């Protein structure tokens, strides 16, 4: 399955955050790691697409007074989402290995 670069970053952020992956934390992590500040609308669109593709699943947390009684929507990688990330990394590495003189030592 093909995913876009932004979708891949969202999957990586969700996987990195574990049980704390929801809109605001994903947005903050993407800003920290990439220096780019995606809109919350773009993030929610990506979450929706990735759920439709079977890469993410979501659950709702408890309502809190600080959120005006609204619930947070938490996201987790599915096993398929993990597989998609591995395949994306393998494809990228196959291309990197074809570039003469590029040092790929990951250690």
pLDDT, one tens digit for every residue, the chain (107 residues): 889 999 999 999 999 999 999 999 999 999 999 999 999 999 999 999 999 999 999 999 876 666 566 788 999 999 999 999 999 999 999 998 899 888 767 55
List the CATH code of the domain at 5-96: 1.10.10.10
User: Which H or E run includes 27?
Assistant: helix 23-34
Beta bridge partners, 49, equal none
Give the pLDDT of residue 70: 74
Between the CA of residue 52 and those of 42, 99, 102, what are the distances in Å? 15, 35, 37
């Amino acid at each position: 399955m093909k995913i876009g670069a932004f979708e891949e970053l969202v999957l990586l952020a969700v996987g990195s955050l574990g049980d704390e992956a929801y809109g605001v934390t994903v947005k903050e992590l993407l800003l920290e790691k990439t220096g780019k500040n995606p809109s919350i609308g773009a993030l929610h669109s990506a979450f929706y697409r990735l759920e439709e593709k079977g890469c993410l699943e979501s659950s709702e947390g408890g309502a809190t007074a600080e959120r005006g009684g609204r619930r947070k929507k938490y996201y987790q990688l599915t096993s398929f989402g993990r597989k998609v990330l591995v395949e994306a990394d393998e494809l990228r590495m196959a291309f990197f290995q074809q570039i003469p003189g590029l040092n790929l030592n990951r250690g």
